[in-house]
Amino acid sequence: MSSRARVRRTAVALPLVCSLLLVAPACGGGGKKESKSEASPTTSAEKQKFAKTRFVANAGLAAGATYKWIVKPYKEGAFKKGEKGRVKALAKAALAGTFTYNRLKAAKKNAEGDPTLSKALAPVAAGIESLKGLPGKLKNGDSVDGDVNNYQDVINKVKDAGKSAGAEVKDKTPSSSELTHSGG
């Protein structure tokens, strides 16, 4: 085929294709409108696509932060009075405590998108809420033993609830920037 024939074909085909693209949307079925009774994409289940995946991610970050900045330093004796670096370790633990609480609240919200996971996590909700005031106690070094045990206990219960619902949680240590920007 000559180049002249190709140019003619393109010259004829291009306007034809363009006109079809412009006309086809105008021919849409404009006769029937959506009724208000149809399901809207605002239901909690639809908002929580990939609920188990999000739950695992948030709970994993909470577990990782708890282990790295609360449980591990506690076991190493970093929170003991007179210990070098105690104030810094307690400040990090308080920050990790706030992060953990934030991520567990997000994980609980994620779980609402999956009926099995929501049911499994329901008994742990009060435990998650009990963590709210603990970062301040950690920061001050008040009753650290009980606080560390409370964090570890809640994390273990969340992990067990996830596992029973088919959403196994593994520790994922957050970066320092994630830890300091835990608002979302």
Q: How many CB atoms lie within 10 A of CB 79?
A: 20
> Does residue 88 lie in a domain region?
yes
Is it the case that residue 26 has pLDDT exceeding 90? no
Centroid of chain to Cα 69: 20
> Does residue 29 lie in a domain region?
no
Q: Give the pLDDT band of residue 48 (cuts 50, 70, 90).
A: low
> Does residue 123 lie in a domain region?
yes
> Does residue 117 lie in a domain region?
yes
> Does residue 32 lie in a domain region?
no
Which range of residues forms the domain containing residue 159? 58-170
CB burial readout 154-174, b (16+ within 10 A) else e:
bbeebbebbeebebebebbeb
> Does residue 144 lie in a domain region?
yes
> Does residue 131 lie in a domain region?
yes
- Backbone phi, psi, residue 30, to 5°: -80, 0
Number of compact structural domains in the chain: 1
> Does residue 63 lie in a domain region?
yes
| pLDDT tens track for 51-60 | 999 999 999 9
Closest CA to 68 of 108, 40, 99, 23: 99
| pLDDT tens track for 78-101 | 998 899 999 999 999 999 999 999
Least confident of 46-55, 82-91, 109-118: 46-55
Asked if 175 and 64 touch (Cβ cutoff 8 Å), the reply is: no
The Cα 98–Cα 133 span in angstroms is 9
Q: Kindly report whether the global pTM for this prediction surpasses the value 0.85.
A: no
